[in-house]
Structure 1
Amino acid sequence: MNYSGFTLWFTGFSGAGKTTISKGVALELKARGCRVEVLDGDTVRTYLSSELGFSKKDRDTNVRRIGFVSSLLSRNQVIAIVAAISPYRDVRNEVRHMNQTFVEVYVKASLEACEQRDVKGLYALARAGKVKEFTGIDSPYEEPLNPEITCNTQYETINESIAKVIKALEEYGYIPI
């Protein structure tokens, strides 16, 4: 099969659905014979950025590292799927420019919806002051201005969001139909 690698970058609040959607997209792409690697923000932070905190500088460094790894993968015909909060537009744009082909997916959900989901209990800890510099609570999140794909997980099921991403990638000609 002939296809090029690219970076598929999921951004949004904690709990918006980035990891769940990215894993579903990865399964579908693998079923189509694509070479895929998922770079989940939590996993990458554990293995590549464990010394970093959550200041803007440290977050930017973490996102740049993920962006560099995704560019290495994509230029070697691997679809790099990234699921990372990546809260700052300027660094997401840097990463866009370091990748030959970059598709930004905004996993949109209100802060309130993400707090209600709060699977990891992090919002509750942040509201209690036990977790500092938490995105959306005491650290900003800058929504993408022109993402290639938006998945509104308040109104779409996970399967609808996965299907939306796959359809868009087919329309862009990035994956086989």
Structure 2
Amino acid sequence: MTTKSSNTVWHHATVTRTDREKLHEHKSVILWFTGLSGSGKSTLAHAVEDYLHKCGTSTFVLDGDNVRHGLCSDLGFSDDDRIENIRRIGELAKLMVEAGVITLTAFISPFKSDRNAARSLVPHGDFLEIYCQCPIETCEQRDVKGLYKKARAGDIPFFTGIGSPYEAPEHPELSVNTHDQSLDESVKKVINLLVERGIIKKQS
């Protein structure tokens, strides 16, 4: 990671986050979906976005695999690279919140310290951690990408849950049991959280 230049100065925009939120007619927030590979993070995040989009809400999903094709294509899966990956995502999500967008992130983000660092970038209440709780046995049974099989064979040495730890959230804003709840039920829980927090209005 390069050293921050001493010649950069933050430029305060004429159009504020509040202005953008008024334009969008809802507040902005980070919905940080975390959980093991195969726990349903991306599926749930995109389903929530689909629901919100149909309600006329400004949203964007930052998906783990998609981000690694561009912004984080130079990073591997060592602990240091995982930390840098989440640092970059946190900074990007922070900018998108300033843009007045409900930003949904779908990353394993296995380390508590990294998720807490991302949380610390934004004001209190702007970071909602959503734990996609699912037993590793169920995740392995799904194994839609074949990653667990490769990890068990030793082909992926630092795979979370097998060769690298996953530190589950202790006090997430929402915990969703994706192994025994339907996708519709899980989406409803996330939407209810947004309504309770005053991010969006209750749909009639």
Same fold judged by TM-score > 0.5?
yes
1:27 aligns to 2:50 (yes or no): yes
Please report how far the alpha carbon of residue 46 of structure 1 lies from its aligned counterpart in structure 2 after TM superposition: 1.3
Post-superposition Cα deviations, 1:3-36, rounded to whole Å, max 9, x if no partner, equal 2211000000000000000001001111121110
Once superposed, what is the RMSD of the aligned Cα atoms?
Answer: 0.9
Please report how far the alpha carbon of residue 139 of structure 1 lies from its aligned counterpart in structure 2 after TM superposition: 0.3
- Hey, what does 1:146 align to over in structure 2? 171
Any unmatched runs of 5+ in structure 1? none
- Hey, what does 1:132 align to over in structure 2? 157
Aligned residue type for 1:85: I
Aligned residue type for 1:10: F
Q: Hey, what's the Cα distance between the residues in 1 that align with 2:183 and 2:160?
A: 22
- Hey, what does 2:188 align to over in structure 1? 163
Please report how far the alpha carbon of residue 2 of structure 1 lies from its aligned counterpart in structure 2 after TM superposition: 2.6
Q: Hey, what's the Cα distance between the residues in 1 that align with 2:148 and 2:122?
A: 32
1:73 aligns to 2:96 (yes or no): yes
Q: Secondary structure at the residue paired with 1:103?
A: strand
Percent of pairs with identical residues: 47
Q: Count residues in correspondence.
A: 177
- Hey, what does 2:5 align to over in structure 1? none
Q: Hey, what's the Cα distance between the residues in 2 that align with 1:130 and 1:2?
A: 48
Q: Secondary structure at the residue paired with 1:106?
A: strand
**TM-score calculated relative to the size of structure 2:** 0.85
More helix by share: 1
Any unmatched runs of 5+ in structure 2? 1-23
| Greater radius of gyration (CA) | 2
Aligned residue type for 1:124: K
Q: Which runs of 4+ in 1 moved over 6 A?
A: none
**TM-score calculated relative to the size of structure 1:** 0.97
Please report how far the alpha carbon of residue 158 of structure 1 lies from its aligned counterpart in structure 2 after TM superposition: 1.2
Post-superposition Cα deviations, 1:47-88, rounded to whole Å, max 9, x if no partner, equal 111111111110010001111111000111001100000000
More RCO (CA 8 Å, sep 6+): 1
1:102 aligns to 2:102 (yes or no): no
Please report how far the alpha carbon of residue 99 of structure 1 lies from its aligned counterpart in structure 2 after TM superposition: 2.2
Q: Hey, what's the Cα distance between the residues in 2 that align with 1:113 and 1:99?
A: 34
